[in-house]
Amino acid sequence: MGEIKFLQGNEACALGAMRAGLRFFGGYPITPSSEIAEQCARLLPCSGGRFIQMEDEIASIASIIGASLAGSKSMTATSGPGFSLMQEALGYGIMAEIPFVVVNVMRGGPSTGHPTGPSQGDIMQARWGTHGDHPVIALYPESVPETYYEIIRAFNLAERFRQPVIFLMDEILGKMNESVEIKDDISVFEREKIQSRDGRYRPYAMKDDIPLTANYGEGLRFHVTGLFHDETGFPDVSGENIQKNMDRMYRKIENNIEELQKWEESGADNPEILLVSAGTQARSAKMACQELNSRGISAAVFRPVTVWPFPEKRLSALAARSKKVLVVEMNKGQLADECRKFISDEKLIPVNQLNSEMISPDEIIRQVEGVL
């Protein structure tokens, strides 16, 4: 058994990132994420890394894009208002296929909203916040221990797929403290070193639909752009190239969906009542589920850990066997809207609350009793 530490969610995020090999953090502090920056400022200089407090969130994400291109595992952390500012450069990262991690500790919005209150209002912003069609990877843990291990997975996926990864947390998770077992056995993915070779270097030559771009500063010169580009890295906005690369970027995710997706199922097998919930809110749903099970009601919880790409196939199969599907979330029904694509309106019941409190187990039980 590993060492047991008592960590704050934000602290676990920073420590997990260090464990994954974080070498650069560029950020601008914002409640309720500031402790992530604070911890990185303390930890990085002691381990050969760099921490820079930038002038704003736009500069923050730009700085981690640069650091990642130079070969450093990079991260920034923010909350809703800062995440909004980062959207354009996030799109650049997706287009130029640069690995980095953006942490968004969700608070009440829009705008300044409620800095010290939790929310799950950025689920769809994580999916569609930046413009244009694009694939997205977003993870959302439920607890402090899971935060520690999922942030490591976030880095591994970013590096493996050469893709920014959005790491969602919420105010409750960021600010709460909890026991964490620090295990010795973790796996960390290291970016492949690209060596100089004969002929003209093609930074966007693909291997299984994933580009193997070299690190700046290691001898190879190449161009990086937010325009559609060909294998040389230089712009090519021909219709043929745009279609080809869009298809490939989506394929990069779709062909590896099993590696990317992760979810948890708990409660009854073949349940009549299926509760769908993510992040800390899912913990309330699980407690409600246990109480419902003890009262003889057949209920289960489906919790996506990888929120994007959404685990549609599995949830669709579970929902088909259930009488009612309650989607429990601290927003106006963002995951519920996604579920509407494959669950009928007669079956789907959104359970939403926006009062800066997690929806309690008692309230979830009341909602379930109302539909039985």
Partner 1 sequence: MKEIMFAGIGGQGVILSASILARAGILKGYYAAQSQSYGSESRGTATRAEVVLSEEFVDFPHVEHADIFVVMAEMGVKLFASKVSQEAIVLYDNSVFELSENIGKERIGIPATRLAVDTFKKPLYANIIMLGAMMRHCGMVGPEEIKTVLKETVPSKALADNIKALELGSGLEY
Residue ranges that bind partner 1, judged by CB under 8 A: 4, 6, 31, 114-117, 143, 172, 175-179, 280, 283-284, 286-287, 290, 356, 358, 360-362
Residue whose CB is less far from partner 1, 60 or 143: 143
Strands 206-207 and 210-211: antiparallel
Cβ atoms 86, 115 nearer than 8 A = no
Work out how close the CB of 84 gets to partner 1 at its nearest, in angstroms, rounded to a whole number.
19
Work out how close the CB of 368 gets to partner 1 at its nearest, in angstroms, rounded to a whole number.
16
Residue whose CB is less far from partner 1, 180 or 327: 180
Residue whose CB is less far from partner 1, 284 or 322: 284
Residue whose CB is less far from partner 1, 159 or 170: 170
Q: Using CA atoms, how far apart are residues 343 and 318, in angstroms rounded to an integer? A: 10
- Structure-block tokens of residue 155: 């880095």
Work out how close the CB of 281 gets to partner 1 at its nearest, in angstroms, rounded to a whole number.
10
CA terminus-to-terminus distance, the chain = 43
Work out how close the CB of 288 gets to partner 1 at its nearest, in angstroms, rounded to a whole number.
9
Per the DSSP assignment, residues forming a β-bridge with 220 are none
DSSP 45: G
Work out how close the CB of 324 gets to partner 1 at its nearest, in angstroms, rounded to a whole number.
21
Work out how close the CB of 334 gets to partner 1 at its nearest, in angstroms, rounded to a whole number.
22
Alpha helix stretches (DSSP H) within 9-135: 9-20, 34-43, 57-69, 80-85, 87-96, 123-128
Based on its alpha-carbon atoms, the radius of gyration of the chain, rounded to whole angstroms, reads 21
Residue whose CB is less far from partner 1, 175 or 191: 175
Cβ atoms 9, 173 nearer than 8 A = yes
Residue whose CB is less far from partner 1, 112 or 255: 112
Which residue is listed with tokens 């070498």?
23
Work out how close the CB of 284 gets to partner 1 at its nearest, in angstroms, rounded to a whole number.
6
Residue whose CB is less far from partner 1, 290 or 298: 290
Cβ atoms 312, 341 nearer than 8 A = yes
Work out how close the CB of 116 gets to partner 1 at its nearest, in angstroms, rounded to a whole number.
5
- Structure-block tokens of residue 228: 């559609």
Q: Using CA atoms, how far apart are residues 361 and 49, in angstroms rounded to an integer? A: 43
Cβ atoms 106, 117 nearer than 8 A = no
- Structure-block tokens of residue 263: 């979810």
Residue whose CB is less far from partner 1, 4 or 317: 4
- Structure-block tokens of residue 322: 């259930």
CA distances from 216 to 42, 272, 339 (A): 27, 55, 42
